Amino acid sequence: MKTSTMLAVLLVALFALGIPAARAQGRITPEPVIPPPIDEPLPPICIDGCPPPIWNMAGLEIPYQRVNVTIENQVAVTHVEQLFRNPTGQLLEGTYFFPLPPGAAVSQLTMWVDGVPIEAKILPAAEARGIYDAIVRQMRDPALLEYVGSDAIQANVFPIPPGGERRVEIEYTHLLTADNGAFRYVYPQSAGLYTDTPLDEQSIRVELQSAEAIRTLYSPSHAVAIDRASDFSAVVGYEAANVAPTDDFELFYTVSPEAIGLTLLSYKEPNEDGFFLLLVAPGLETSEVVAKDVIIVLDTSGSMEGEKMAQAQAAAAYVIEHLNPDDRFALVSFSTGVSLYEPTLLPAGAPGDYHQYIDSLTAVGGTNISGALLEAANLVGERPTTILFLTDGLATEGITDTPLLLQTVGAALRPDFRAANARVFAFGVGDDVDTTLLDTLAAEQRGTTTYVRPGQAVDEAVSGLYAKIGSPVLTDLVLDLGGIRADQVYPATLPDLFAGSQLVVAGRYRDGGPTTITLSGNANGRPQTFTYADQTFRDEGGEPFIPRLWATRAIGHLMQQIRLNGENAELVQSIVNLSTRYGVITPYTSFLIEEDDIDAQTSNGVPLMDASQALAAPAAVSGAEAVERAAAESALAVAEAPAPMATMVATDAGGQAIAQAAVQTASRRTFFLRDGVWVDSAHDPATAPRVIAFASDAYFALLSARPELGEALALGEEMIVVVDGEALRITAEGDDAPTTAQATPAPYPVTPPETTPVDEATPAGQGMTAFGVGVPGCASALLLPLLVMAGWGLSRRKR
């Protein structure tokens, strides 16, 4: 998901060749600025005209960025601390320009540089827009257009001497408002616009306090850790090194007195089906925990010898030690034969000497998976049952045919009352496991599969999963969306709801409108129903990340079906269609990011692959490739955030490898990078696009008429975008000459927005102001402006 704001831009003027720095007194405004007088004249630099500016972005470093946010009863205070370092031998000096989050009502603003307060002003969106346009015209870079429509902060920044550092602090406060009951916090920080230098370190910490109980808490943009000390407080954390991501930091949360909270987010384009996301989370302090039975099925075959066996034993002990007081348990070990700790389930309060039994287990013999699972099935009773099944190999004893094994075990687990009771959570240790067996078994019994790769710890994987599923609060879930017609919902079968966890459901719907959502299930044998009135599915607009999240899950589900049930043309084409429309790259569509394969098109112009050309699923069900694919598909199918955009390896002018995005979503469209041109996936190559010169009057007129295109136009100066069914070719090639768009009457207004004039005929020796720095005459041509995001300062995303 590509976002529409960034945290900050530092406009830095670099004076080369030993020229004394002029005072940075000019302001960046849409109106013409008269340069201030200088202390003494500069020597002439050139005689017969000056060369064009060189936009050199190398040099400035960002050792760290620390973001601390406190949200208390909807009031968010954001404090940003960031260090800039100048490793060059030249003076860096300029103006700090900081676009604000959309809709932010700043009630408090402080800005410090090395302990000295800096005078700052807030620019309204219209004035900031003029600055954006001026920078685009002069810098020949459209990236700032992404921030059209946002207010901004402007302040002078002290010069950064050679080898020096400057620490910048900003704090602002704004009120979060609820939309359909959900609060949304955004920390804007798009990818690096003008520098390839990533943040050496980044940390984001959000401390949340609420007078009402916090229920759902969700970030679609970042993999965060959540620490919930109580129902009324939570801490969300994110840390990374060498950071070069592309998304704003987003956090959604709801508050509710309900024992189980529900959040509805939706998105809909006019005349199209919509997308929805449901978040369901129980409280920590008031939830009734369901009493359950836990059966641990442990592989002790010869291949488990050594560290794997020791870790499996530790995992079994951990689970027993962390049972709830009303739980019961059993231990089943298997190799060539099957062994039980006790023939019946034991209460958690009287476990006996299970340590002695676990420690006595030795790794020897074959792998009798069917015998072990059938013994476990015989222990399943009327209470909800969790089966933790751990193995590191293929079945070599008992039933070894996978389809027959699944049929036999499935029949044993699903007679009468057992049909809704048993949940199988499988752990595949190493690469010599039957992925078809494990995934099918888990899917049919409403569980999951965890693959423990070589070098990973078995006990950590088991304890980590059990910590999430150890306290069920509602089983056999059913969601009723009222009068809303929904389909293609993932997960297709709802799992149980556990204390301290969150259920994420994504799907599509026909028509929006108000409705009442009902969640029902069972708790300790008693039916429970929760009703959520006054919920609204949008008729238009909403959260733009939801379609890609839904597509991510849909693709993962379809790929699992192909791997488990066999490949067919219809499923493959569905994957290709989804991948192309929403930019989720798969093995079937990896060709889309290859610039030399642009000829692969369907009749309607959307780049697709014929099903007959698709990559076949691997014939092997075990081995590193099979396990990697199974794990990847599972991650897609249960993803809680959209799949990351595909990247391709490119090299810079110096031959260094850099990561370059190959797929982007912007302005509710998906673009593929083709020979340096961003191409809208809706473009029909058989249709000649209308040409608009980059940074021309027609270009800015288009932006004024359709400001929502700013996010798409920010991708680069070479692109094809489809607007109202018409393909527009934005290009910088030959933009000094009249273009087709300028010669042909356009359906958009041609009056350009008010911007800072660019006087191309400024005589030598006269002064001009460039980005807030007054320089005389041709000296401005030797100015090497550096624009560095104070928010990310990361790798370039648009070229």
Tens-digit pLDDT profile for residues 243-263: 875 678 999 999 988 889 999
Q: Choose between 781 and 288: higher pLDDT.
A: 288
Task: Report which of 339, 341, 385, 334 is spatially closest to residue 363, judged by C-alpha positions.
Answer: 334
Predicted local distance difference test score (pLDDT) of residue 139: 64
CA angle 789, 677, 748 (to 5 degrees): 85
Cα gap 497→287, rounded to integer Å: 11
Task: Give SS3 for 281.
Answer: strand
User: Encoding tokens for residue 205?
Assistant: 């910490």
**C-alpha dihedral, 705 to 707 to 711 to 713, nearest 10°:** 30
Cα gap 541→179, rounded to integer Å: 12
> Is the predicted pLDDT of residue 288 greater than 50, yes or no?
yes
pTM given for the model: 0.75
Omega within 30 of 0 (cis) for the link into 198: no
Between 589-593, 647-651, 765-769, the lowest mean confidence (pLDDT) is in 765-769
Cα gap 264→262, rounded to integer Å: 7
43: exposed, middle or buried (Cβ count in 10 Å: 0-12, 13-18, 19+): exposed
pLDDT above 70: percentage of residues in the chain = 72
User: Encoding tokens for residue 363?
Assistant: 């790794």
Q: In what order do the strands lie in the sheet with 182-187?
A: 178-179, 182-187, 249-255, 214-218
What is the residue type of 104?
A
User: Encoding tokens for residue 261?
Assistant: 């909270």
- In the block, tokens 């000019």 appear at 26
DSSP 712-773: HHTT-SSEEEEETTEEEEEE-TTTTSPPHHHHS--SS---PPP-----TTPPTT-EEEETTE
Between 380-384, 513-517, 654-658, the lowest mean confidence (pLDDT) is in 654-658
User: Encoding tokens for residue 684?
Assistant: 């029909």
Terminal alpha carbon distance of the chain? 17
Long-range contacts from 570-574, C-beta under 8 angstroms, 24+ separation: 570/611, 572/611, 572/614, 573/608, 573/611
Section 673-680 average pLDDT: 87
Q: Could you tell me the CA-to-CA distances from 290 to 213, 354, 471, 502 in Å, in that order?
A: 22, 24, 7, 16
Sign of the alpha-carbon dihedral angle for 551, 557, 558, 560: positive
| pLDDT tens-digit readout, 599-630 | 333 333 333 333 333 444 446 888 988 898 89
Cα gap 157→787, rounded to integer Å: 13
Chain-centroid distance, C-alpha 276 = 17
Cα gap 477→519, rounded to integer Å: 7
Strands 274-282 and 260-268: antiparallel
- Residue-level length of the chain: 799
What is the residue type of 317?
A
Q: Choose between 235 and 29: higher pLDDT.
A: 235
What is the residue type of 109?
L
Predicted local distance difference test score (pLDDT) of residue 197: 61
Predicted local distance difference test score (pLDDT) of residue 45: 30
Predicted local distance difference test score (pLDDT) of residue 42: 31
388: exposed, middle or buried (Cβ count in 10 Å: 0-12, 13-18, 19+): buried
Predicted local distance difference test score (pLDDT) of residue 164: 83
Predicted local distance difference test score (pLDDT) of residue 112: 76
Local confidence band at 525 (pLDDT 50, 70, 90 cut-offs): confident
What is the DSSP code (8-state) at residue 37?
P
**Which contiguous run of DSSP H or E holds residue 186?**
strand 182-187
Task: Report which of 793, 791, 797, 798 is spatially closest to residue 248, judged by C-alpha positions.
Answer: 791
CB-CB neighbours of 798 under 10 Å: 22
**Which contiguous run of DSSP H or E holds residue 461?**
helix 458-469
> Is the predicted pLDDT of residue 366 greater than 60, yes or no?
yes
Local confidence band at 416 (pLDDT 50, 70, 90 cut-offs): low
| pLDDT tens-digit readout, 470-507 | 889 999 899 999 999 999 999 989 999 998 888 999 99
**Which contiguous run of DSSP H or E holds residue 535?**
strand 526-537
CA angle 787, 761, 47 (to 5 degrees): 90
Local confidence band at 108 (pLDDT 50, 70, 90 cut-offs): low
User: Encoding tokens for residue 609?
Assistant: 């692959």
Cβ(4)–Cβ(103) below 8 Å: no
Helices 458-469 and 307-321 cross at an angle (nearest 10°) of 20
Helices (H) and strands (E) in the chain, counts: 13, 43
Cα gap 376→577, rounded to integer Å: 42
Task: Report which of 374, 385, 296, 398 is spatially closest to residue 342, judged by C-alpha positions.
Answer: 296
DSSP 74-124: TEEEEEEEEEEE--SSS-EEEEEEEEPPTT---S-EEEEETTEE--EEEEP
pLDDT above 90: percentage of residues in the chain = 40
Predicted local distance difference test score (pLDDT) of residue 68: 96
Cβ(597)–Cβ(406) below 8 Å: no
Task: Give SS3 for 691.
Answer: strand
Q: Could you tell me the CA-to-CA distances from 329 to 316, 325, 386, 469 in Å, in that order?
A: 11, 11, 9, 15
Task: Report which of 74, 179, 176 is spatially closest to residue 534, judged by C-alpha positions.
Answer: 179
Cβ(573)–Cβ(611) below 8 Å: yes
CB-CB neighbours of 77 under 10 Å: 16
Predicted local distance difference test score (pLDDT) of residue 666: 85
Cα gap 493→506, rounded to integer Å: 12
Query: Residue 797: left if φ>0, alpha if ψ -120 to 50, beta else—which one?
Result: alpha
Local confidence band at 654 (pLDDT 50, 70, 90 cut-offs): low
Q: Give the largest Cα separation in the chain, rounded.
A: 98
Predicted local distance difference test score (pLDDT) of residue 129: 75
Helices 546-565 and 569-582 cross at an angle (nearest 10°) of 160
Local confidence band at 57 (pLDDT 50, 70, 90 cut-offs): very low
Chain-centroid distance, C-alpha 321 = 36
Section 30-51 average pLDDT: 32
Task: Give SS3 for 776.
Answer: strand
Question: Can you name the residues that pair with 571 across neighbouring β-strands?
Answer: none
Cα gap 670→144, rounded to integer Å: 19
CB-CB neighbours of 322 under 10 Å: 15
Predicted local distance difference test score (pLDDT) of residue 22: 25
The tally of CA atoms less than 13 A away on the side-chain side of residue 212 is 13
What structural domains does the chain harbor?
A: 260-283+473-541 (2.60.40.1230), 293-470 (3.40.50.410), 547-640 (no CATH), 648-764 (no CATH)
